[in-house]
Amino acid sequence: MIIENIYRFDILLAERHMLKYEELKAKDLIKHAIIIEPSKTLYDVRSMMIRYNISRVIIAKDKKPLGIITEKDIARFLYKEVPNRRLNEVSVDEIMSTDLIKVEQQTNLDICVRMMLEKEISSIVVVDEGELNGIITKSDMVEAYARHYPSKLKVDQYMTKKVITVAPDENLHMILLLMSDNQISRVIVTRDHKPIGIVTGHDLLPVSILFGTGVWIGLSPSRYWTSQEELVARRRIQRFIPAGIKAIFLAGDMMKYDPITIAKDADLIEAAQLMTNNRISGLPVVESNSESLAGIITKTDIVKGIASYSN
C-alpha cells in the first residue's frame, strides 16, 4: 500500500531554513550510542538490540570505542559460523568489527557522507579527544535530508531495480543465505509480482535464540550439532537444502505484512520522511499505475542522494 505523505510541508520548510544543509556538521546529527563491554556475549547484544529497537551496538571500555556489532553481522555469523556453542557462549570480541571510522564533532556532514559511502559502512563513531561521544547512523542522515535539503531528486533516480525477493513459504535457511550472499539486510516477500511483506535482519533476532549457531540434522528429537568440517562439506554439495529449525520457520512467519511502499516517481524527500517517521530502513518501490514491484529504496540510496549535493 502507498501511504500518502502526511507531513506538513510548511512546517518542514520552516525547519529547513533554520539550518542550511551546507552548514551541517557531525555535532548536528550525533545521537547517544548504546554500548556494551567486550566481556559480554552475543546473547547480550541480541537482547539489547531487541530491547532498544536498534540495529547496532558499540563495544567500548573506559569510554574508549573498541568495535561495533550490527544486525547484519549477527545474521552473517549465524549462517556461516558453526561453533558448538549457544549464543551466550559466544563472546562479543569474536564477531565485532574493530575497523571503526571516527570523526570529531566539527567534521562537516558532506565529509561524513563520503566516508560512509567509500567505506561501505552504516555508522560513524563521533569522538572527543579519543573518547566516545556518540554515533551518527544512516538513519540520522536520512532524517537530516528530510529536514534540511531542497526537493530536487526522484526515487527512480536512486532506487535499486534488482530486488531480492522470496515467496511467503520460503524458509529461514534460504532467507539467511540470500542475505549473506548478497550482503543485504532485507528481502521483499512477493505474490503475483506485488510486495506483501518484508523480512529484515531485525526480524530474525527473536528467532535466533532457537537455533543458536549450529544446524540441526533432521527434525527428530535426536538432533545434534554439526561440526564445522561436516557443515562445510555438506553445504558444498547441498547448499540450498535446509535442515531443522531453519526449515521450519518461513517468511510468512516472520515478515511484516503490508509494507509501506512508495511510487517510483515520488520525490526522494518523501521516501526519507517515510523512513524517518516509521523508523524503517527500506521501502519497496512500486509502479504508479499497478503497484507491481519496481525496485527498492534504502537509507544507503538516500545517503547517495545527499552526496550529489556536494558534487
Average pLDDT over residues 97-116: 94
Q: Which of 19-23, 133-137, 219-223 has the highest mean pLDDT?
A: 133-137
The per-residue pLDDT for 206 is: 64
Q: Would you say residue 95 has pLDDT above 90? A: no
160/287 same-domain check: yes
The per-residue pLDDT for 38 is: 92
The per-residue pLDDT for 304 is: 96
CA dihedral sign, ordered 42, 45, 49, 55: negative
Query: Whole-angstrom Cα distance, residue 189 to residue 76?
Result: 20
103/169 same-domain check: no
Q: Would you say residue 270 has pLDDT above 80? A: yes
3 is a domain residue: no
> pLDDT tens digits for 145-163?
999 998 889 999 999 999 9
Average pLDDT over residues 121-147: 95
174/142 same-domain check: no
Q: Which of 76-85, 225-234, 258-267 has the highest mean pLDDT?
A: 258-267
286/301 same-domain check: yes
Q: How many domains does the chain have?
A: 2
Q: pTM for this structure?
A: 0.76
Question: Amino acid letter at 125?
Answer: V
> pLDDT tens digits for 242-255?
445 455 678 888 88
175/299 same-domain check: yes
Nearest to 275 by CA among 151, 139, 122, 149: 139
In angstroms, the Cα distances linking 275 to 67, 84, 139, 166, 297 are 27, 39, 8, 22, 10
Domain termination site, one of 130, 148, 166: 148
> pLDDT tens digits for 176-199?
778 877 888 899 999 999 999 999
Name the H helices within 212-298. Answer: 228-238, 245-248, 251-254, 268-278
288 is a domain residue: yes
119/40 same-domain check: yes
63/191 same-domain check: no
124/262 same-domain check: no
The per-residue pLDDT for 240 is: 45
**CATH number of the domain within which 245 lies:** 3.10.580.10
143/276 same-domain check: no
Q: Would you say residue 106 has pLDDT above 90? A: yes
141/165 same-domain check: no
2 is a domain residue: no
Measure CA 273 to chain center.
17
Q: Would you say residue 115 has pLDDT above 80? A: yes
Q: Would you say residue 224 has pLDDT above 60? A: no
132/172 same-domain check: no
**Strand bridging mode 186-191 / 194-200:** antiparallel
Which residue range is the domain that position 276 belongs to?
155-310
> pLDDT tens digits for 200-219?
877 777 665 554 444 333 33
Average pLDDT over residues 52-72: 92
- Partners of 225 in the β-ladder: 216
161/143 same-domain check: no
Which of 27-36, 81-90, 101-110, 154-163 is predicted least confidently? 81-90
